[in-house]
Amino acid sequence: MGRRVALVALFVLVASVSFAQEVVELRFYIVPKTGDGLTPATAFRPKYFEGISTSNRDYGLENTFLVGADVTPAQHTLIASNLDVIAIPQNINAPIGLTALQTVKDKLEALHVPAHWVTTEHTYRQVIAAVGRLFLFMGRFHARQARTFFESGVTLDLRLNQLTQTQREALEDAAISLGLDLSRITQTTTIRQAFKALLDQMPSFSLHGESF
C-alpha cells in the first residue's frame, strides 16, 4: 500500500512538473526588426523570438513589429528585459491608468505611432487594436509605394501641406486602395491626425488568435 501511495505521489509530482514546464501565456509585444531578408531563415522578423511561435505585424519598412506569442513566464521575462522591447501587460483589458499613460504615449510616438488620442480610460486592447490597424495600413503603403513613409524630415507633427505632392499622393493612393474615406482629412491635417482617421476605418483583425 505504501509503495502504491509513493508511486501515485511520484506520478503527480512528475505530472505537475511537466505541466508547469509547458504553461504558456499569450502575450503581446512591440519590438524591433532583426534579419536581412535575404533567406527564409533570415527574413525580417521580430527580434528576440527565435524558436517561438509568433504572429507578426510589421509597420511597413519601419523598424518595428507588433507581435503576439505564446511564451512561458521565463521566456517573457527574458524578452521583456530588453530595453528596446515594449511588453504589453498580460491583462490587455485593463485601463492604462495615470501612472503608465505618459510612458505608453512616449514609447509609441518614438516609433512614429500617433498616441495623442490615448487617455487613462483606454485599455491596452484598444491601443493594440490601433497599432495593429495602423501597421496593416502601412503594409499596404509599402506594397503600393515600395518605400518608407517616414522619409527624412517627415514626422507625425507635419501637416499634409508640408509634405511633397509625391508624398501626399502616395498616402492617398494607399488609403484609396483600401477603400478608406478621406473626407475628414485636409491639407492642414497633421500626419498624426490623418493616421488616426485612417486607422479608425481599418477593419478588425486577429493577432495570434486574439481579435482586435
Partner 1 sequence: MALPASEPFTGTGALSASWTNLQVSCSRDTDRGKGDSTTTYCSAYWSADAFNNDQKSQATAITNGGAGTHYAAVGVRMSSGPNWYAQFWDGGDNDLLKNVAGTVTQIAGNIITTVAANDVIRLEVEGTSLRVYLNNVQQGVTQTDSSLASGSAGIAFFDNGSRIDDWEGDNLGGAPADPEGRLVYGKLVGRGLLGGVLT
Which one among 137, 191, 195, 196 touches partner 1, defined by CB under 8 A?
137
Nearer to partner 1, 94 or 147 (CB): 147
The Cα–Cα gap between 3 and 16 comes to 20
Confirm or reject binding of residue 22 to partner 1 (CB under 8 A). Answer: no
Look up residue 20 and give its three cell numbers: 508547469
The Cα–Cα gap between 50 and 143 comes to 26
CB 29 within 8 A of CB 107: no
Nearer to partner 1, 15 or 176 (CB): 176
Using alpha carbons only, give the angle 202, 205, 208 rounded to the nearest 5 degrees. Answer: 150
**Binding string to partner 1 for residues 82 to 121, with x set by CB under 8 A, is what?**
----------------------------------------
The Cα–Cα gap between 89 and 28 comes to 8
The Cα–Cα gap between 29 and 128 comes to 9
Site for partner 1 in 148-207 (CB under 8 A): 160, 165, 168-169, 171-172, 176-183, 185-187, 201-203, 205-207
Closest approach of partner 1 to the CB of residue 187, in Å: 8
Look up residue 89 and give its three cell numbers: 501587460
Closest approach of partner 1 to the CB of residue 167, in Å: 9
Closest approach of partner 1 to the CB of residue 155, in Å: 17
The string of DSSP codes covering 127-149 is HHHHHHHHHHHHHHHHHHHSS-S
- Where does this chain bind partner 1 (CB under 8 A)? 35, 37-41, 43-46, 49, 51-58, 61, 132, 136-137, 139-140, 142-143, 146, 160, 165, 168-169, 171-172, 176-183, 185-187, 201-203, 205-209
